[in-house]
Amino acid sequence: MNFAPLPSVDVASVPADGLVLDVREDDEWAAGHVEGALHIPMSDFVARFGEVTEAVSAGRRAYVMCRVGGRSAQVTQYLVQQGIDAVNIDGGMQAWDSAGRPMTTDNGTPAFVL
């Protein structure tokens, strides 16, 4: 069986207005996330798939992120199989944080990667 290589990008390639799809769990999201990201935990993903298709319906690319890239790779593969333009963010939130890209929290506390 032959699998196509998983499309992926480094954090520097994610545009400031890009659609970031964060598939981490609620506690990870609460600790710190990309402002404006769409948060759908991997555990809820199939049930909430309509939210993803709605967000990308305008022909937008989905930049899929988790903590280090494992869960987001699985979700990216699923999205690509559904015909959605999706790429995995290499290194996930850890790489995002290391690159100094902005993060936020919903409660105003300093953001960090859990």
* Catalytic residue positions, numbered: 66
* Interacting residues of 82 by C-beta distance below 8 A, sequence separation 6+: 53
Distance of CA 5 to the CA centre of its chain: 18
